[in-house]
């Protein structure tokens, strides 16, 4: 999957956990399509890249970000 990173927006890292590790860097609007690329039973973590640091996002915080940016998607 190819995504185009807009540096004027927040950047997220989606890491698939397990035997085969996959990483996706994307903006908030691209998270639903990146998660659709993962298999249904895969476990993953979503990190928010801010101030040159990664912090893990909870599902609640991510859903709040989707609602605030009018993206129709819920985890």
Q: 24, 18 in Cβ contact below 8 A?
A: no
Half-sphere exposure of 53 (CA within 13 A, CB side): 4
CA angle 18/22/24 to nearest 5° reads 135
Half-sphere exposure of 26 (CA within 13 A, CB side): 17
In tens digits, the chain (75 residues) has pLDDT values of: 788 888 888 999 999 888 877 888 999 999 998 888 887 777 899 999 888 899 999 999 999 999 999 999 998
Gap between the Cα atoms of 27 and 11, Å rounded: 5
Q: Please give the model's pTM, rounded to 2 decimal places.
A: 0.83
Predicted pLDDT of residue 11: 92
3-state secondary structure of 24: strand
């Amino acid at each position: 999957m190819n995504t185009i990173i807009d540096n004027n927006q927040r950047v997220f890292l989606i890491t698939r956990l397990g035997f085969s590790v996959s990483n996706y860097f994307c903006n908030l609007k691209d998270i639903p399509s990146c998660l659709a690329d993962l298999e249904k039973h895969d476990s993953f973590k979503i990190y928010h890249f801010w101030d040159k640091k990664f912090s893990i996002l909870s599902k609640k915080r991510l859903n709040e970000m989707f609602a605030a940016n009018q993206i129709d998607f819920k985890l």
